[in-house]
Amino acid sequence: MSILVTGAGGQVGRELTARAGGRKLIGLDRAALDITDEAAILGAIEANAARVLINAAAYTAVDKAESDQASAFAVNRDGSAALARACAQAGIPLLHLSTDYVFDGSAPAPYPESAAAAPLGVYGLSKWEGEVAIRKALPQHLIIRVAWVFGEFGANFVRTMLRVGRERPQLRVVADQRGAPTHAGAIAETLLGLADRILAGESLHWGTYHYTGAPVTTWHGFAEAIFDEALALGLIEKKPQVTAITTADYPTPARRPANSALDMTQAGLQLQLRAASWRDGLRETLRAWKSAS
């Protein structure tokens, strides 16, 4: 029995393969498998005797999606639909990652899974329509919404902050968007744990759940923490001055939710999931980069 991972070249996908341990896990990146090709997906499931599929593939270029809608919907909506149909035909469950961007961020409190979707842009809408397609095609699914993902691999906020922090003595970072940074390694461990339970024959409560780090902060607060930890580890010589600004001060092609906090109550009750400290994940990421330098 094996675990098949699509999107194995991305942030979470690389963490999944790195943390596989003794599991029989097959990771396929974009070059190895086109997730919009249902026949190819089914062939990969059958060839690898997969008993569960974890989809870590996504079009995540939030701003670029506004001008490249076709690509965003092809991957996030059509690819999700093809994966769900192939899993249904093969009789295996799908674990799929979604996003806080399905909400508009106007609520004052963390969003429960039952909150109405109201995406602000193409990326969020394409991910929401992918969720809808999965629910329609495959009852045996776990859709896990995550937010503010960072980690050792790929491009992310932590890597960007370190780069610009070394280049500039002063930075301006948005302070009126709230959310919980989520370590890609913690997401991978959570997905692998769920896959293990499925393979062991446990009957899970299928559906949509939230999984994020803790506690809630702002991009400005996250940046301050990044520089504090990086300075302590000797990754930067001096901490830059980080000035708090508003979203209006930093316009982008795509609108961002002001509130990206996700309520994990149901994930705790139904799946026994608990939020991991993003500071622990941040230290793990920075230590990995220090060791590699």
Q: Which residues are catalytic?
A: 123
d(CA 166, CA 161): 8
Quickly tell me which residue has 């769920």 as its tokens.
194
What is the DSSP code string of 184-240? Answer: HHHHHHHHHHHHHHHHTT-----EEEE--EES-EEHHHHHHHHHHHHHHTTS-SSPP
Q: Could you tell me where the DSSP H helices lie in the chain?
A: 11-18, 38-47, 62-65, 69-73, 80-90, 122-137, 157-167, 184-199, 219-232, 265-271, 278-292
Residue 17's Cβ-count burial label (10 Å; 0-12, 13-18, 19+) is middle
